[in-house]
Amino acid sequence: MTKPSTPSAWGIHMAKFWLQAGQSLPVDVKLLAPEATRHGFDAPIGLIKEHEIDGIDGMLMKRKTKNDWCIAYNPTVASRGRINFTLGHELGHYVLHRGKQDIFRCGQGEMLDYDSAASKKLEAEANQFSSYLLMPIPDFKAQIAGHRVTLDLIGHCANRYDTSFTATALKWIEFTEEAAIVVVARDGFICWSYPTQSARRHRIYFSAGTEVPQESQERITTLLGSSNYTTRVGPGVWHSSMEAEESAILSDQFDMTIFLIRFPGANLIEHDEETEEDSFSVLSARAQGYNWHK
């Protein structure tokens, strides 16, 4: 059988291996990784263990004396979904990059080397692999079919796949035909945003440092007594001429707000195509782990 040639194809391949073995979702990477690499790989993953090194979420290391590989992860990370995504990320490094180096250290401080385009590429590819492994698109589409996409529905999918809320929202952003955007903010300012393809055609994007709309900032205070909210807002808030549906949820650390902004009327207007960016490069290209907190 011809081996997959892209990060997404490898993720799909590994997800099929898991499901065809009679396993159910979520994917248990600690169970999958040793079994899936036992055959067809020169040196399998022989050990998955915990570590407690500050600033390092996960590591992949070659054990030369045993001719195998070890995945180590930090169990103290607040979000269980983030731990699971990290395990998938390290398996991605093994499948995709083990011939390039003998150790990978990944975390808020180590994951990004802004002086190295090659390093960014490796991290983005490992994230893409993890997303396709943990959140198979056919199953994701089945979960949302016939439903209006809300924060609660995204949360249901995050629980189903044992992934972070942000990673799950980005997965939906990747394949939906809706005009929508995920916005992550702190202290009234946007840290990063990522739009759907439809939203791109309407030039919907907010750069880092953009101020959150004033009335949206005021609504955030309502989250202190509840987990999330959804409300309809008029033109001039998130777009100059279109109404929007604004939803927001606090991150686990209560210092970040994740907005999901949908534009129900946007697809009635045609716009030129824009260059597409791989959504899961967002998990590497946005600094300081802003995207994995929830």
* pLDDT for position 291: 41
* Confidence class for position 107, pLDDT limits 50, 70, 90: confident
Spatial distance between the Cα atoms of 267 and 271, rounded to a whole number of angstroms: 9
Q: Tell me the mean pLDDT in the region 212-236.
A: 86
Has residue 115 got a pLDDT over 90?
Answer: no
Strands 68-73 and 244-250, bridge-based pairing: unpaired
Q: How many CB atoms lie within 10 A of CB 205?
A: 14
Has residue 43 got a pLDDT over 70?
Answer: yes
Handedness of CA 30, 122, 179, 197 (dihedral sign): negative
Q: Where are the domains of the chain?
A: 7-134, 137-292
* Confidence class for position 282, pLDDT limits 50, 70, 90: low
Spatial distance between the Cα atoms of 92 and 44, rounded to a whole number of angstroms: 13
* pLDDT for position 199: 95
Query: Which range is least confidently modeled, 11-15, 47-51, 71-75, 279-283?
Result: 279-283
* pLDDT for position 112: 39
Has residue 192 got a pLDDT over 60?
Answer: yes
- Class level of CATH domain 137-292: alpha beta
Has residue 293 got a pLDDT over 60?
Answer: no
Q: Tell me the mean pLDDT in the region 35-41.
A: 94
The answer to whether the beta carbons of residues 265 and 243 sit under 8 Å apart is yes
Has residue 224 got a pLDDT over 80?
Answer: no
* pLDDT for position 294: 43
pTM for the predicted model, two decimal places:
0.86
Per-residue pLDDT tens over the stretch 63-92? 999 999 999 999 988 788 999 999 999 999
**3-class SS string, the chain:** CCCCCCHHHHHHHHHHHHHHCCCCCCCCHHHHHHHHCCCCCCCCEEEEEECCCCCCCEEEEEECCCCEEEEEECCCCCCHHHHHHHHHHHHHHHHHHCCCCCEEEECCCCCCCCCCHHHHHHHHHHHHHHHHHHCCHHHHHHHHCCCCCCHHHHHHHHHHHCCCHHHHHHHHHHHCCCCEEEEEEECCEEEEEEECHHHHHCCCCCCCCCECCHHHHHHHHHHHHCCEEEEEECCCCCCCCCCEEEEEEECCCCCCEEEEEECCCHHHCCCCCCCCCCHHHHHHHCCCCHHHCC
Spatial distance between the Cα atoms of 8 and 51, rounded to a whole number of angstroms: 28
Has residue 103 got a pLDDT over 70?
Answer: yes
* pLDDT for position 267: 72
- Higher-confidence residue of 74 and 227: namely 74
